[in-house]
Amino acid sequence: MEVTYNFVNGENVIVLVDEKLGGTIMQLDKDLYNNNHRETRRHKSLNEMVNKADTFVDKNVNIEDDFLRRSDVDKLYEAISKLTPSEQELIHKLYLSKNPMTQTEYAKSVNISNANMWKKIQRIRDKLKKLI
């Protein structure tokens, strides 16, 4: 039986072997082919995944912007926590509540004028700017 041996440098040599050894060599070649086929079926190459990377990218999401926005929100909440309880209540009622009040409504609820309300809000905003 003739068996072809392929060298790494591309040279091919035909070798004469008996039937039993030839059958074993052919079975080993077949097993090697099947194992390689099985492995390549299960796994994707890195190049293939890199080429398909655009398929998995969500163009509507910008991770960097989301991170910076969350970081800014965290800083804001940390600064708000350093305000006095009455200032925190004002910020919550005017800006953070699900149903925010107007400045006029809040001024009436705490019995102060609209001008005093405006000044109070300005002082709180300035305080938050310094804290942030």
Q: Which pLDDT tens digit goes with each residue over 48-66?
A: 667 666 666 677 777 778 8
| Residue 23: HSE in the Cβ half-sphere, 13 Å Cα cutoff | 3
According to the model, what pLDDT value does residue 116 have?
93
According to the model, what pLDDT value does residue 123 have?
94
The full 3-state SS of 34-64, as one line of letters, equals HHHHHHHHHCCCHHHHHHCHHHHCCCCCCHH
Domain 63-131 grouped into CATH 3.40.50.2300 = no
pLDDT in tens, 75-103: 888 999 999 999 999 999 998 889 999 99
Percent share of the chain, pLDDT over 70: 85
According to the model, what pLDDT value does residue 60 have?
77
Domains of the chain, by residue range, sit at 2-54, 63-131
